[in-house]
Amino acid sequence: SPKFVIDGLKATIENKEILKGINLEIKGGEVHAIMGPNGTGKSTLASAIMGHPKYEVTEGTATLNGVDLLEMEVDERARAGVFLAMQYPSEITGVTNADFLRSAINAKREEGDEISLIKFIRKMEGKMGELEMNPEFMHRYLNEGFSGGEKKRNEILQMAMLDPSVVILDEVDSGLDIDALKIVADGVNNMRSEERGFLIITHYQRLLDYITPDFVHVMMQGRIVKSGGPELAERLESEGYDWIKEELGIED
């Protein structure tokens, strides 16, 4: 079962230090949530792991089964088994959902061992059926003209098709109505297994009503300042973040 370890990760944006030493260990089967006020570095963490060019990692490692992802090219990180679902998925004109997924799946496989078109279509149809997606989405251009809920559902489809070892969801709940939220949550819950770990980044506790995390971490000013179980998320929902600031003597 996989093990994902972030160790002493520091990152800057335009020479400003945003991540000030993040430590986190996620084993297969575990769901971790990171919560925190806006502007605290949560998205920076996700982007730094995936290798977004705006973010410079200045110290630390992020290893999957002992191999440092930060040493890899961006596309290699996905192939190594890391999946990132973002707050605002991008639209890609001219590339259909099916094209995109088939090349992503084949990129993970050895040359000469590509998935056959028939097998791929069967698999995609099966997963789309489970997610109650309209079959026409197979041939729609990626995310183009998709509603917020359709984009999220499509990301869950991508996750199910790619079978990653680590899943990072960055505020996938933002702007979702309750039905779309439940689809996302069901998709995640159905994919919980010993073969996969989850990192769920969220500003609000709402998503965690549907996906019960094993661990909850609070991030403030670029550090994880407190960790606990699901009860920590509930307390943050009812009391906000001020009590943590007071407890730790953090000033705004």
Give the span between the Cα atoms of 9 and 166, in whole angstroms: 17
Q: Return the residue nearest Mg ion (CB atom).
A: 43
Question: Of 2, 26, 41, 202, which one interacts with ligand ADP (CB under 6 A)?
Answer: 41
Cβ proximity to ligand ADP: between 42 and 217 the closer is 42
Question: Of 1, 8, 54, 67, which one interacts with ligand ADP (CB under 6 A)?
Answer: 54
Report yes or no: 39 and 223 within 8 Å, Cβ to Cβ.
Answer: no
Q: How many residues does the chain have?
A: 252
Choosing among Mg ion, ligand ADP, none, which partner's interface includes residue 97 (Cβ < 5 to 8 Å by kind)? none
- At 54, the amino acid letter reads K
Using the rule CB under 6 A, is 14 a contact of ligand ADP?
yes
User: What are 33's strand-pairing partners?
Assistant: 200, 216
Choosing among ligand ADP, Mg ion, none, which partner's interface includes residue 143 (Cβ < 5 to 8 Å by kind)? none
Using the rule CB under 6 A, is 18 a contact of ligand ADP?
yes
- At 183, the amino acid letter reads I
Q: Which stretch binds ligand ADP (CB under 6 A): 31-39, 74-82, 94-102, 173-181?
A: 31-39
How far is Cα of residue 36 from the mean position of the Cα atoms in its chain?
A: 16
Q: Where are the beta strands (DSSP E) in 1-113?
A: 3-13, 16-27, 31-35, 55-64, 67-68, 82-85, 92-96
Using the rule CB under 6 A, is 182 a contact of ligand ADP?
no
Q: Which stretch binds ligand ADP (CB under 6 A): 34-42, 124-132, 148-156, 191-199?
A: 34-42
Choosing among Mg ion, ligand ADP, none, which partner's interface includes residue 138 (Cβ < 5 to 8 Å by kind)? none
Nearest-approach distance from CB 62 to Mg ion, in angstroms: 18
Plot region of 204 (φ>0 → left; ψ -120 to 50 → alpha; else → beta): beta
